Amino acid sequence: MNPAPDQFASIARGPGPGDEHDTLAARNSRLVPGDSIAVKIRRFDRAEGIAAYQEFSVPYRKWMRVLDVLNAIAERDAPDLAYRWFCGSKMCGTCAVRMNGREVLACWEAAEPNMTIEPLRNLPVIRDLVVDRAPYENKVASLEPWIARTSPYPQFPEPLNHRQMKDASKALDCIGCMCCYSACPVIGLGDLTNFAGPAPLVQLAQTALDPRNDPEKIKRSLAETGIFNCVSCYKCEEACPASIPIVSRIIEPLKAKAAQLVPEMAKHSLALRDIVATRGRVDPTALILRVQGYRVLSGLSRAIRLLMRGKIDPFKTVFNIRTGAASAASRLLGKDIHRK
C-alpha cells in the first residue's frame, strides 16, 4: 500500500520536534472536505505572448496539496493547463511554483482556502506554470561542477571524514527545484550583475567544497560565479524546501574560498575586513578609496553630497582615527592593528 501524503514527511526526513503538527492534515486545518478553494492561476502562452489570471473553484478533499488542486483543475476545467510534476513526493524538484507570493513544491504544500499560483520568477516562462530551466542548466554546465583530482584515486572507500565533507554534503541534498533561484532578488537585476545565483552555486559547492578537488579548477569555476554580488539576504535559504543552509554552509564557504583563490574578486570584502580590523569601525571614505582608487575622482560631486550629509568624515580617514573597539575587532578578525 502506498503511504499517505503526510507520511512522506517522516520517511524523507525522519521524525523531528514538531513533526506531529506539520502534517498535511494539520496544515489543511482551515479547510473541511467540501469547502470551496478559490484558485487564481497565471496563464501564459509564449507563442501568443498573452498573460492573464484565470479563476477556478475547486472542492476541497482531505489532505489536498497544491498539486492535487492543479490536477483537479486540469481534469475538470482546463485540460490545457501546463504544469510539471514527476515524483509527487519532494524528490525530483520539478513541481516548484509560487503560491501566494512564496516558492513552494506543489506536491508538498498544503492547499489553502485562497490561492494565487504563479510560475517561478527569474526564468523564462514557456507556458502557464512551466518555466524554461535552460539558463540555470547552462550556467551549471559552464561552472564545470565535477572533481579534477590532484592525486590518484587511493582506495575504496576513500579516507574522507565528516569534517572534510560537512559543507559539500549539505549541497548534495539539493533537488534542483529552483525555489531559491526564483526567490533571489539579485538574479532579478539581470545584466547589472554577473551573479550565477544560489542554485548553480549549490551545484558547484558539491565539488568545489570537496577536499579532493584541484584548487586551480575550483579557482576557474569561482571566477565565473560573480559570488560577491550575493547580498546575504537569506531569501534563498527561506525558500529552500530541502532546508539547505544555503548562505551559511554554501555561499559563505564558497566566498571564503574565492577570497583565498581569486582575491581580486573579493577586493571589496577584503578591504572592508581590513578597515574594520584596523579602525574598529566601518570607514566609508577609506573603503571607497581602497576599492575605487583614482576612479573616485570621477564621482567627486557625489562625494561632496555625502560629505554635506555627514555620511563620510575624511578627517577621521586621513588621521586614521580608531575606536575603542579596534583591539577587539583586530583580535576577532585575526589582524595586527599596529601594522598600519
* Residue 99, helix vs strand vs coil: strand
- Give the one entry of ligand FES, ligand SF4, none that residue 58 binds, where binding means its C-beta sits below a cut-off of 5 to 8 angstroms depending on kind: none
- Give the one entry of ligand SF4, ligand FES, none that residue 91 binds, where binding means its C-beta sits below a cut-off of 5 to 8 angstroms depending on kind: ligand FES
- Strands (DSSP E) contained in the chain are 36-45, 50-59, 96-99, 102-105, 114-118, 125-127, 130-131
Q: How far is residue 246's CA from residue 14's CA, in Å, rounded to a whole number? A: 21
CB of residue 94 to ligand FES, shortest distance in Å: 5
Nearer to ligand SF4, 72 or 117 (CB): 117
The residues, ordered by sequence, that sit 6+ positions from 334 with a Cβ below 8 Å of its Cβ are 277
Query: What is the number of alpha carbons within 13 Å of residue 117 lying toward its C-beta?
Result: 35
Report if residue 140 touches ligand SF4, rule: CB under 6 A: no
Report if residue 265 touches ligand FES, rule: CB under 6 A: no
Contact (CB, 8 A) for 188 and 235: no
**At how many degrees (to 10) do helices 134-142 and 198-208 cross?**
30
Q: Which listed residue (106, 175, 265, 275) binds ligand SF4 by CB under 6 A?
A: 175
Q: Which listed residue (58, 178, 254, 262) binds ligand SF4 by CB under 6 A?
A: 178
Q: Which of residues 251-290 bind ligand SF4 (CB under 6 A)?
A: 251
Stretch that binds ligand SF4, among 81-89, 142-150, 210-218, 242-250 (CB under 6 A): 242-250
Contact (CB, 8 A) for 99 and 111: no
* Residue 117, helix vs strand vs coil: strand
Site string for ligand FES, 37-76 (x = CB under 6 A): ----------------------------------------
Q: How far is residue 54's CA from residue 43's CA, in Å, rounded to a whole number? A: 7
Contact (CB, 8 A) for 39 and 117: yes
CB of residue 97 to ligand FES, shortest distance in Å: 10
CB of residue 204 to ligand FES, shortest distance in Å: 22
Report if residue 202 touches ligand SF4, rule: CB under 6 A: yes
Report if residue 233 touches ligand SF4, rule: CB under 6 A: yes
Q: Which listed residue (117, 184, 254, 287) binds ligand SF4 by CB under 6 A?
A: 184
Binding interface with ligand FES (CB under 6 A): 85-88, 90-95, 105, 107
